[in-house]
Amino acid sequence: MSSLSARLLVSVSVLLLFFFGATIVVLDTAFRKAGEQAREDILDGHLMQLLAAAEPGADGVLGLPPDLPEARFGDIGSGLYAELRDEANDVIWRSRSALGLDIPLGVIPGPGGHIFLEESLEDGTPLLTLSMKVQWEIADNELKSYVFKVAESLDSFNAQVAGFRRQLFSWFAAVALIMLLTISILMRRLLRPLRQIESEIGDIEEGKRASLSEAFPTELAGVARNMNLLIDSERARSDRYRHTLDNLAHSLKTPLAALRALLSEIVAQQDIAGRFDEQIDRMDEIVRYQLRKPAASVASKLALAPISVAKEVDRLVEGLMKVYRDKQPVIDVDVADRIRFRGDIGDFLELVGNLLDNACKWCERCVQIRIMPVITAGASVGGLEIVVSDDGPGIPGDAADALLQRGTRLDEATPGHGIGLAIVKDIARSYGGDVTIQVSDLGGAEIVVTIPPAPQP
């Protein structure tokens, strides 16, 4: 879960579930204990009524009258039962309500003692029983032991407990839902400053505002202040880079113009002068490209007209053959028919030019370049797969990632600045692509640049 609101809601829900669950258990236990204690007190009162109503008969045997103060003892199946047993544990009296039932004997208490038990009838009906053993004085000071026992069905009590539990769960579920709804509303209001920061950062990225506002809570004021400082710092650094490039371009204009004029004077043959002019124009194009680069964006690149790939590759190969005329590498070009690159021409020349220049620099004799289209469903033109291979010493696997970083070189004795592949990676990433380094079939390095096609508008 990436949403902070969702994380807070889940955390609060877990806490509510834990605390409400514990509360339900405590209340349920307390309700059941209180109910059991009340049942025990009621049974104890019934037992005292039996003791008060008991009288010995003419035969000297203790008995109880047919009608007792508690009417439920006289109603069959009322759920309240009583019986009287003698010293041999034989039943000498049983209430009318227990007709046809066999109340379990259970544990016999000691003289004067009483025991509460949870027992059950033969059909499984749960009972709460109270037994008490007494020494009854008969004629001639004779003492006989009797056991009075009362029992009450727990079906109604268990039903009450189940009903209480249902109500308890319903109440707490309703309370939990109301609390979660309230908390979600509060969090939405409390997290509004975060959404405001997100919105303002988006506006800054789109160029609609220059910095974050200052109307934030204390906890976020420092974040907004530091973000504004970072934005100002990056803007100032970008301005410095642009000014430096402007100064560089301005400084190069005059030498280039002078060089063109001098060459036109000293070169007699028209075809050679044209070749010099072509390279000077190329230098001028590179300067203009570097000046445009800091302000360029992917969005602006998507609006550019497609570039003929084959034509520009041929220009690059022709120029490199002149640069490496002493080495005379064999450059095999395989470009798909009518393939187009949708982007800045300077980006394409910089990307392919660096790849070919590296391959020519490190090859023994052979260089291959293969450019094929990359087409996916729902996409427009512009996707390319550029594969440049050579038959040189290759690139070790553990050095591949390092070579994509600026300033990293495998051979310090070879001329270069160590930024060519880093530039390739930066340009490819700016178009959503990627760069991989492999071993070519020629035995040297194979660098694959994949640029996905632009989506359909």
Query: What does the DSSP 8-state code read for residue 64?
Result: -
Predicted local distance difference test score (pLDDT) of residue 141: 74
Distance CA(334)–CA(137), nearest Å, equals 124
Q: Pick from 55-69, 89-103, 231-245, 379-393 the range whose average pLDDT is largest.
A: 89-103
Domain 301-451: CATH superfamily is: Histidine kinase-like ATPase, C-terminal domain (3.30.565.10)
What is the mean pLDDT of the segment spanning 115-142? 86
pLDDT at 299: 39
Average pLDDT over residues 314-329: 87
Q: Residue 384: is its pLDDT beyond 50?
A: yes
More confident residue, 369 or 418: 369
Least confident span in 136-140, 264-268, 422-426 = 264-268
Nearest to 355 by CA among 435, 409, 298: 435
Higher pLDDT, 345 or 417: 345
Q: Does 42 or 342 have the greater pLDDT score?
A: 42
Q: What average pLDDT does range 46-55 have in this prediction?
A: 90
The total number of residues written for the chain in this structure: 457
For residue 446, name the pLDDT band (cuts at 50, 70, 90). Answer: very high
Strand order in the sheet with 126-138: 91-94, 80-85, 142-153, 126-138, 114-120
Residue ranges, CATH 3.30.565.10, the chain: 301-451
Ranges of CATH 3.30.450 domains, the chain: 4-160
Class of domain 4-160: alpha beta
Query: CA geometry: angle at 356 spanning 355 and 359, to 5°?
Result: 90
Stretch 372-400: mean pLDDT, rounded?
79
pLDDT of residue 439 exceeding 50, the answer is: yes
Backbone angles phi, psi at 84, to 5 degrees: -130, 130
CA gap 206, 375 in Å, rounded: 29
pLDDT tens string 276-294: 666 666 666 666 665 555 5
Query: Which region, left, alpha or beta, applies to residue 440 given φ > 0 means left and ψ of -120 to 50 means alpha?
Result: beta
Q: Do residues 149 and 129 touch, judged by C-beta distance below 8 A? A: yes
80-100 pLDDT, tens digit per residue, is 999 999 888 888 899 998 888
* Average pLDDT score, the chain: 81
Please count the CA atoms within 13 angstroms of the CA of 42 that sit on its side-chain side: 17
pLDDT at 289: 61
